[in-house]
Amino acid sequence: MKDDQPEVMIMSTLYHDGNRKLQDKFKSRRIADRLEETLTRTSFSDDDKVLIENSIYFFLASTATVSAEARFWLRQ
């Protein structure tokens, strides 16, 4: 693919179209895809369970939660 052509849009659980446009503009889509591939999960591992059970506080964030909160604040 040539450097001046944006990459094909693919479905993402972490990034929306605005994120993808910026990634294409700054040629950072490949690293963003790699981060999504290695950092997103659908379940907790045994090590995660131990960490969570031994933590005083635990915060869980999801793209659905962030999107819903963002929509709430944009309507204000």
**In the chain, how many H helices and how many E strands?**
4, 0
Residues in Cβ contact with 13 at an 8 Å cutoff, skipping those fewer than 6 apart: 36, 40, 63
Q: Residue 63 — φ and ψ, nearest 5°?
A: -65, -30
Confidence of residue 64 (pLDDT cuts 50, 70, 90): low
Task: For residues 3-24, give the mean pLDDT.
Answer: 77
Residues in Cβ contact with 73 at an 8 Å cutoff, skipping those fewer than 6 apart: none
User: Can you give the pLDDT at residue 5?
Assistant: 55
Distance CA 33, CA 14 (A): 9
29-56 pLDDT, tens digit per residue, is: 999 999 999 988 888 899 999 999 999 9
User: Can you give the pLDDT at residue 32?
Assistant: 95
Length of the chain: 76
